[in-house]
Amino acid sequence: MKGMRRMLLHHQGPIERLDLSEAAAEDSPPGTGEVRLKIRACGVCHTDLHIAEGDLPAHRLPVVLGHQIVGVVDAVGADVANLKRGDRAGVGWLYDACGACAACLRGEENLCPGAQFTGYDADGGYAEAVTVAAAFTYPIPSRFDDAEAAPLLCAGIIGYRSLRRAEVQRGERIGLYGFGASAHLALQAAAHWGCAVAVATRGPAHRDLARRLGAAWIGGVDEPPPWPLDRAIVFAPSGEAVRRALEAVRPGGTVAINAIHLDALPELPYRILYGERTLRSVTNFTRRDALEFLGLAAAIPMRVEFELFPLAAAREALVRMKRRELRAAAVLAP
């Protein structure tokens, strides 16, 4: 593609002064095992904000952010069997994993020390085209259009892994701390499993969305839910929310932290962990998570709440995310 447009992040820094500028580039042809996607939609994720602002150290600069990509294959490299020109495919945060290390062999490619991440180690989806490994793409269920499918590819998959990491069982009482792109999809999965879901969030728009999606209780992070929780997932990048979640789960319950960046955990009185409560993190996801989740999302079928921005407004979308002005997800469309 000649003169492909893409948004380049040149430097890390506060979002207000962010240098996220449009640049034309020649897109190179896909190599062995790779395909080039003409991008139809790309979701905006909190991780993009963490990379832009430097909460996560840059792996390379300049870089094209974006790791919730829906596109159509327009060029196919050698040795690609699973995709052909014209196929629709999705790409998430996991750009590549080595396949040979102890973690990969255990089926934990999300923990592969050699893993590469889309829009971080490799150029991502704030662009008109992207080249990716065919083995790390996912078929998009036909019931989702391009823009509504984009937030499924990180917000959705990582929310699903969080439910799994929290060991959510059918019919349990679940707490979601913080509510946005990921939690609004996780709520629908938990409700589908017959769980009662308590949502702790401040924003009126988030509360309204949680109510419409069937939350059984909605309150503030500092308010105890009306019943003890079996499991809780913390979506807000807040150590205080982790403490509140741990206080709200019953003995034997589990709290999973869905955050790639968290400044610090507050001092935790041992009594809130005692009683065999479990506190764990959620790190990246595996291809298996992605395929399981996309099947579940189509079967429910999930409702995806998003706001659409033109590619050139990527910075504005990140600013609105930082200010918590987005009701759920943001999606860029070239």
Q: Which two tokens stand for residue 263?
A: 């400044």
**Least CB distance to Zn ion at residue 52 (A):** 13
Residue 228 near residue 249, CB atoms below 8 Å: yes
Which of 209, 279, 211 is CA-nearest to residue 245? 279
Cα four-point dihedral sign 106, 110, 111, 113: positive
Cα four-point dihedral sign 309, 312, 127, 7: negative
Residue ranges in 44-83 that form contacts with Zn ion under rule CB under 5 A = 45, 47
Size of the site for Zn ion (CB under 5 A): 8
Residue ranges in 279-298 that form contacts with Zn ion under rule CB under 5 A = none
- Pick 104 or 150: Cβ nearer Zn ion: 104
**Least CB distance to Zn ion at residue 256 (A):** 16
137 half-sphere exposure, CB direction, 13 A CA radius: 27
- Pick 84 or 261: Cβ nearer Zn ion: 261
**Least CB distance to Zn ion at residue 177 (A):** 18
Residue 216 near residue 241, CB atoms below 8 Å: no
- Pick 45 or 242: Cβ nearer Zn ion: 45
- Pick 47 or 162: Cβ nearer Zn ion: 47
Q: In whole angstroms, give the CA distance from residue 155 to residue 153.
A: 6
Mark residues 85-124: x for contact with Zn ion by CB under 5 A, - for none. ------------xx--x--x-------x------------
Residue 234 near residue 255, CB atoms below 8 Å: yes
Cα four-point dihedral sign 246, 249, 255, 261: negative
Among 150, 154, 195, 257, binds Zn ion (CB under 5 A): 154
- Pick 47 or 188: Cβ nearer Zn ion: 47
- Pick 101 or 312: Cβ nearer Zn ion: 101
Pick the piece of the chain touching Zn ion (CB under 5 A) from 43-51, 238-246, 263-271, 288-296: 43-51
Residue type, 316: E
Residue 69 near residue 124, CB atoms below 8 Å: yes
**Least CB distance to Zn ion at residue 60 (A):** 18
**Least CB distance to Zn ion at residue 170 (A):** 27
Which residue's structure tokens are 């105890």?
A: 224
Residues near Zn ion (CB under 5 A): 45, 47, 97-98, 101, 104, 112, 154
